[in-house]
Structure 1
């Protein structure tokens, strides 16, 4: 029966633990395994610590911070969000907002004719609708400009009782 060595090299320890030498270095850097002394690692202590932790939970072997990898990961997440329609293109959002605002303003313009055929009353209602349409149009333009500039959009405008 062969004796268990007190100290072993990085490649021997990594081979025994079934990890790469780079993973061994990461575990040492994370404080999971004791540091080496002149390139040698305390064999029993490292084996007990590694397999003791591995039995309780899976060791986290974090990859080094890689800006390129992180950027690529964000790009993939954005593509998935666009595909799933949880993220939409800015121009698409503005076009949808402009369409909705235009439809709303057009609907207001048609109200007087739907309400009455009597000329005097229709003229009075058209005046009210025109004032509302101008106010809404101005507010829609302000909101669109704030969105384009990346500024926060304020709450609802105070209604005037006319």
Structure 2
């Protein structure tokens, strides 16, 4: 294996971003077949998690909760509605679209919990280690997001 003598000596294996990327991909790959059996993709699963936890939610609030744009949420909600897991309705303020679980969507939660527990088991981490890792990642995301400077005109 050749090593470069030019530049600052950046190494892939030393990059936090790559470790996070690889871990994320591994977790999503572990979820994929389990969720697929239930008719969900991983991004749809995230939408459903938010709805199970928060109840009826406006599309723009759902997007903010998942740190996505409303235009990224809309196709996910479209597919979830087609599958019979959610419904959409306009609020009194017609600009606001509310997303609600159907009975089928509510009943899916118990089945998804089994899939989620299977993935947790695959991590090999105990409850305390999982909670610590989750908190570290949330803190990291918050610090990095806080440091991002919004572009000015």
| TM-score, normalised with respect to structure 2 | 0.25
| Larger relative contact order (Cα-Cα within 8 Å, sequence gap ≥ 6) | 2
Question: Greater share of strand residues, 1 or 2?
Answer: 2
